[in-house]
Amino acid sequence: MEGKFSDGLEVLPLTLTYCIWFGMTTAVQIYLLCAEKARLASYTLAAGLVANVVLNLILLPKFGLIGAVTATTAANLIALTLSGLFAHLLGFRFHPGTLIILASPLLLQAGVWISGGALVAIGILAVSTRWVFSGEEKVQLMENGRAYWSKWRRSSQ
């Protein structure tokens, strides 16, 4: 491929980060839509769009592809933060572990081994403490996991 994709590999961790944050933003916006506050959900996307355009105007000419990806990452973080803020103001209660999960995509910048180790550490925290999931959430996850497991076993026989 004559090195055509080396620039893409360089920005891949940051690209994955903003893609994950976009998905998280969408999940939080479902709360806003269920609360019949679609206007607030639209505002978060508009703020992210404006931030993306402005940051691209600043960063793209000087830094090229990495500038564009950085601008998009920052814009998605702005949209996620605003969505979370609006949801919180409407009564959504964030578990402290939510911040761990929301920040975890940043670990992708540290490389495969560090981000993989951090994923294992978060998994251990999720199972052994209440930092990531509350006791009630753990029970619910186990019940749902058992139901899916038995459904999968029945379908594979």
Q: Which tokens belong to 38?
A: 């679609």
Average pLDDT across the chain, whole number: 91
* The residue to which tokens 């999960």 are assigned: 101
Percentage helix, strand, coil, to 5, in the chain?
Answer: 85, 0, 15
Where does the chain show beta strands of DSSP type E?
none
* Residue extents of the structural domains in the chain: 1-94, 95-157
Q: Which tokens belong to 111?
A: 């490389």
Three-state DSSP state, 31: helix
2 band by pLDDT with thresholds 50, 70 and 90: low
What pLDDT, on the 0 to 100 scale, is given for residue 154? Answer: 87
Per residue in 83-100, pLDDT (tens digit) is 999 999 999 988 888 888
Per residue in 8-60, pLDDT (tens digit) is 788 899 999 999 999 999 999 999 999 999 999 999 999 999 999 999 999 99
